[in-house]
Amino acid sequence: MKKSYEDQDQSWHVDIMGEVDIHTSGNLKDALNNLLNEKETSIKINCDKLIYIDSTGLGVLIGVLKRVKKNENDIFIQGAQSNISKLLNITGLDKIFIMSE
Partner 1 sequence: MENITLSLPSKAEYVSVARLTASVIANNMGFNIEEVEDIKVAVGEACNNAVLHGKCDQDRFNLNFVIDGQIFMVEVRDTGNGFDFEEYTEPDLMNPRENGLGLFIMKSLMDEVEVTSTVEDGTCIKMVKNVVEI
DSSP E strands in 1-101: the ranges are 2-6, 11-16, 18-20, 42-46, 50-53, 75-78, 98-100
Query: Residue 60: which H helix or E strand, with range?
Result: helix 55-69
Among 14, 20, 47, 60, binds partner 1 (CB under 8 A): 60
- Choose between 16 and 87: whose C-beta lies nearer to partner 1: 87
Q: Rule CB under 8 A: is residue 91 a binding residue for partner 1?
A: yes
Q: Kindly tell me which of 23 and 49 has the beta carbon lying closer to partner 1.
A: 23
Of 2-10, 16-24, 40-48, 67-75, which segment contacts partner 1 by CB under 8 A?
16-24
58 binds partner 1 (CB under 8 A): yes
Helices 25-38 and 55-69 pack at an angle, to 10 degrees, of: 10
DSSP reduced 3-state for 63: helix
27 Cβ contact partners less than 8 Å away, ≥ 6 residues apart: 1
Which of residues 13 and 50 has its CB atom nearest to partner 1 in the complex? 50
10 contributes a contact to partner 1 by CB under 8 A: no
- Establish if 18 lies at the interface with partner 1 (CB under 8 A): no
